[in-house]
Structure 1
Amino acid sequence: MVNGVSNRELRVSDAEREHVIGLLQKAIGMGLLTLEEFTDRTDVALASRTRAELNVVLADLPGMTHPEMRVRGGLWGGRQSSGPRLPGDPMVLSSGCGSSLNRNGYWQVPRSMVVRSKWGSGVNLDFTEAAFEHEQLDMRLDVTGGAVTLRLPEGASVTLNDLNTKMGSSVTDRVGYQGRQGTPHIAISGDLSMSALTIKGPRR
């Protein structure tokens, strides 16, 4: 009971929803769920607002109960992404379920940026013709599902030291920008869940 509200009625965070989806993935591997059942239950988990609603998708799965989690500051409004505090006033780019997020051609790149996508059809950011306001861009990723593609201009570099990958996520650096000196420099942090990040160079 928290402030007169039962545990079952407490609101759930994005982190709790992702935890339950991870349990559903394990259930597939154990032969407890079909792929169709996993998809249906994932949709329910993502739409859940309370712990009671979230636990429904695990109720008939032996040994897979979502533990009671203490409510901590910062979780009521959703999960806070990992990584250092972003400088300045970050640009926020976001896309929802089934939608894409694209930037190409000439566009202004600020000092910092937050990219949010949950079950979108893809994030594609082409920086080859963009105008960078600073030598370094701090980019925070908060992506669940789908693919993220970054196309860097000639001579650019990227680091991924503060990026967390989980639940089958992958990072592919096709041109070896990671750790190389170059300008502009993109420092990537945040969280990738069930997602794939691909870093490409300019088109030839």
Structure 2
Amino acid sequence: MVNGVSSRELRVSDAEREHVIGLLQKAIGLGLLTLEEFTDRTDVALSSRTRAELNVVLADLPGMTHPEMRARSGWGGRPVADRPPLPGEPLVLTSGCGSSVNRSGEWTVPRSIVVRSKWGSGVNLDFRDAVFAHDRLDLRLEVTGGAVTLRLPAGAVVSLTDLNTRMSSVNDKVGYQGREGTPHIVVSGDLNMAALNIKGARR
């Protein structure tokens, strides 16, 4: 109880929401959640205002609890959203209203990535100097509002067959679709009221 308010009614911060999303990522790796369940629970976590609302997404997951007013950071002292994925789980990149997702420079691209953004200021994934762990990348977009920009290396190829678009646009001026090459980036998921921009390797 804090000033007459129970701990369940206390407001939660963005850091606490990110911590819980990190626990949901771990649950995928342990086989406790499907990707669809992870998506639904992440929606709840991102929209939670109080600790009671946030804890609902963890209630039936054994051994996973949200500590009382702790955990401002995750693996290695870095934000939970930036921790390396466990074997078999996707790298999940998340942004809320007004924030952005950015990856550039020399970074390791895992087998699968999930991008979740609602009314964010932009998603920018620059793969030109990245190291791909596999020839194929499964990239799932769960994006509402804003724009997603993929900057691809020479020789890459993109498939968009499993991407659902609603009031959205796809701009591929380089022509990465419908050809052969590596890495092969398979884009799926849902793009709502947003734009997907595919750009080439030119600096």
TM-score (structure 2 length as normaliser): 0.58
Q: Which residue in the other structure is 2:32 paired with?
A: none
Q: What amino acid is aligned across from residue 178 of structure 1 in structure 2?
A: Q
Q: Quick one: structure 1 residues 96 and 133, their matched pair in 2 at CA, closer, same or farther if it must change by over 3 Å?
A: same
Q: Which residue in the other structure is 1:51 paired with?
A: none
Q: What amino acid is aligned across from residue 158 of structure 1 in structure 2?
A: V
Structure 1's unaligned 5+ residue stretches are 1-72, 80-86
Q: Quick one: structure 1 residues 98 and 183, their matched pair in 2 at CA, closer, same or farther if it must change by over 3 Å?
A: same
**How many residue pairs end up in the alignment?**
124
Residue 138 in structure 1 maps to residue 138 in structure 2: yes
Residue 108 in structure 1 maps to residue 72 in structure 2: no
Paired with 1:145 and 1:103, the residues of 2 have a C-alpha distance of 19
Q: Quick one: structure 1 residues 202 and 96, their matched pair in 2 at CA, closer, same or farther if it must change by over 3 Å?
A: same
**1:167-187: CA deviation from partner (whole Å, max 9, x where unpaired):** x10101110001211100100
Paired with 2:88 and 2:137, the residues of 1 have a C-alpha distance of 11
TM-score (structure 1 length as normaliser): 0.58
Q: CA RMSD in A?
A: 2.0
Q: Which residue in the other structure is 1:77 paired with?
A: 41
Paired with 2:103 and 2:182, the residues of 1 have a C-alpha distance of 20
**Percent of aligned positions with the same letter in both sequences?**
69
Q: Secondary structure at the match of 2:41?
A: coil
Q: Which residue in the other structure is 2:96 paired with?
A: 96
Paired with 1:103 and 1:127, the residues of 2 have a C-alpha distance of 8
Paired with 1:151 and 1:171, the residues of 2 have a C-alpha distance of 14
Q: How does 1:1-204 map to 2 (within 5 A)?
A: 77=41, 88-166=88-166, 168-204=167-203
Structure 2's unaligned 5+ residue stretches are 1-35, 44-86
Q: Which residue in the other structure is 1:49 paired with?
A: none
Q: Secondary structure at the match of 1:155?
A: coil
Paired with 2:40 and 2:143, the residues of 1 have a C-alpha distance of 19
Q: Quick one: structure 1 residues 132 and 203, their matched pair in 2 at CA, closer, same or farther if it must change by over 3 Å?
A: same
Paired with 1:115 and 1:76, the residues of 2 have a C-alpha distance of 14
TM superposition outliers: structure 1 runs of 4+ over 3 Å? 73-79
Q: Quick one: structure 1 residues 119 and 176, their matched pair in 2 at CA, closer, same or farther if it must change by over 3 Å?
A: same
Paired with 1:200 and 1:180, the residues of 2 have a C-alpha distance of 15
Cα offset for 1:88? 3.0
Paired with 1:148 and 1:76, the residues of 2 have a C-alpha distance of 21
